[in-house]
Chain A
Amino acid sequence: MTKEVVANIQYGGDYAEKLREAAESGECVFCQDTFQRDSKFFLMGYQGWIARKSEFPTKDVLGGIPDHHILIVPERHVGSYEDLANQDHVRVSTIVAYLRSRLGIRGGGLVHRLGHPLYSGATVLHVHFHFVVPRIIEIDGEPRAVFVNMPIG
């Protein structure tokens, strides 16, 4: 029996095909070198974690792409939020701070789905954080962020 590495394929959208392949092979998408080191998307590595641009960024409410949708992922397979050490969260925070400085990010949000995928809506069952930075447009001469709805459930 292959281990469960993905769930909620119906929420996969553009990456549903990849999820189906992973479900069949039982190989975790995020454990693969092709995911972790793909130079087209790779941003940085830090103490056993990587940051990578999402291949399938969540669209904002106007149908556009946010300025950044970055996945922050442990290199080792971690299946549950409970298995993260406190120091792992400090590493995630350090990565966020570094990327903000490097990419000139003034603010954003971090989302993590936890628990059973039936209730969290997670698709890839390897712990990951979504770091999302909305794009800014001008409305009546004022800069406004175009919000991105990150679904939970």
Chain B
Amino acid sequence: MKKKVVDPTYAKSKNYSRVINKIAEEGMCPFCPENFKYHKKPILKKRTDWFVTESTWPYKNTRHHFLVMTMKHMEELSELSAKDWESIHWLIRWATKEYKIRGGGLAMRFGDTSHTGATVCHLHMHLIVPELKKNGRAKIVNFPIG
């Protein structure tokens, strides 16, 4: 039996659903380096095993939608060490400075995908920066859990 690496149930667009279904058939984790062919956006910065890249399918109302992820296959938050967090922070600080980010959100899903709405099991964090309205306030970006 193939290991579950993605869950097409909660794919948020038709195009994304097509890609995720194809990956599900192959049964290879799309975020592990040896299969990193589906993600077309460049790696922007690396720090130890971690890197930051743009989301291929940014959420509505985002000015920036980055993914922070690791080359090691992990699925649980509890697997992260203080060293991992150092790398994550370093990348977030880098992105904040590089893209002049003044505020946003950091979000992640973990555990059984049928309970979280995650599409890719490989642990990844979303760094979400909303677009601004004409009055300078942020538009709301909804991060769905479930």
Interface residues of A (CB under 8 A from B): 60, 66, 81-82, 86-87, 89-90, 93-94, 96-97, 100, 105-121, 132-134, 136, 143-153
Contacts of A106 in B (CB 8 A): 111-112, 114-115
Given A108-B115, A108-B116, A115 and B103 contact (CB-CB distance below 8 Å): yes
A interface secondary structure, majority: mixed
User: Please, could you name 23 A-B residue pairs with CB atoms under 8 Å apart, sorted by A?
Assistant: A66-B146, A86-B86, A86-B89, A87-B82, A89-B85, A96-B77, A107-B111, A109-B108, A109-B117, A110-B109, A111-B105, A114-B105, A115-B103, A119-B129, A119-B132, A120-B103, A133-B115, A134-B117, A136-B115, A144-B114, A151-B140, A151-B143, A153-B130
Given A112-B106, A114-B104, A120-B103, A134 and B85 contact (CB-CB distance below 8 Å): no
Tell whether B44 is near chain A: CB-to-CB under 8 Å. Answer: no
Interchain pairs with CB closer than 8 A, number? 168
Complex: chain B residue closest to A97, CB-CB: B78
Query: Which B88-146 residues have C-beta < 8 A from chain A?
Result: 88-89, 93, 96, 101-118, 128-130, 132, 136-146
